[in-house]
Amino acid sequence: MRRALADGYELDDDPARIDVDFVFNYLSLESYWAQGRPREVVERSLAGSARVVGLYHTGAQVGFARVISDGAVLAYLGDVFVDAAHRGRGLGVELVRESVDGGPQRELSWRLDTSDAMELYSRLGFKERVAPPVHMERRAGWRP
Ligand SMILES: CC(C)(COP(=O)(O)OP(=O)(O)OC[C@H]1O[C@@H](n2cnc3c(N)ncnc32)[C@H](O)[C@@H]1OP(=O)(O)O)[C@@H](O)C(=O)NCCC(=O)NCCS
């Protein structure tokens, strides 16, 4: 998949095109959810994702999202970001739209976690769960 957007922007799900340094630098240094994630872990997370979607501007990567899925029941959208210089012009919505509706996981049940971008995701069918079933997690590194 390769989809041209306005003003020289483009979405592409070719894993070979991902700028690993760009993704690693954002996640590890700037994101609020993956601070300090080692480069080797980022590389494995890319390799193990069902789909990775890059946002590009005149050839250079400026955004990213990835899909984790069993391909049958459930898909999880993670590590979504648009470089700060390119925000506020509808690219985040297009990046998420392509990630969720543009691939083979489109008919599955989707999950994601976010601290503040609920409005963006609600435009694409995501709803906050305010009643059971309750979302539970076991954090990496947990020991009894
Ligand atoms: C969230 C993010 C990907 C949105 O990218 P973007 O290109 O700026 O998004 P858009 O321009 O498509 O925004 C569309 C709408 O989403 C909403 N929105 C976007 N980012 C938001 C945020 N951080 N908080 C609240 N609402 C947000 C706005 O209501 C916006 O509506 P508007 O067009 O009426 O202003 C980007 O701000 C980002 O990378 N933030 C830092 C990383 C992050 O928080 N990632 C999400 C983790 S779940």
For position 82, which CATH number holds? 3.40.630.30
130 in a structural domain? no
142 in a structural domain? no
The tens digit of pLDDT for each residue in 64-107 reads 999 999 999 999 999 999 999 999 999 999 999 999 999 999 99
47 in a structural domain? yes
Nearest 5°: CA angle at 89, between 85 and 91?
85
Given a contact cutoff of 8 angstroms between Cβ atoms, the answer to whether 1 and 11 are in contact is: yes
Question: Nearest to residue 12, comparing CAs of 81, 63, 69, 78?
Answer: 63
The tens digit of pLDDT for each residue in 31-74 reads 999 999 999 999 999 999 999 999 999 999 999 999 999 999 99
28 in a structural domain? yes
Cα(64) to centroid(ligand 1), Å: 13
127 in a structural domain? no
Who lines ligand 1 at CB under 6 A? 80-82, 87-93, 114, 116-117, 119-120
User: Could you give the CA distance from residue 123 to residue 85 in angstroms, rounded to a whole number?
Assistant: 23
pLDDT of residue 98: 98
- CB-CB neighbours of 22 under 10 Å: 16
CA atoms within 13 A on the CB side of 50: 20
132 in a structural domain? no
143 in a structural domain? no
Q: Which atom of ligand 1 is nearest to the CA of 83?
A: 39
pLDDT at 133 over 90: no
Residue 26: which domain range? 2-122
137 in a structural domain? no
Specify the number of domains making up the chain. 1
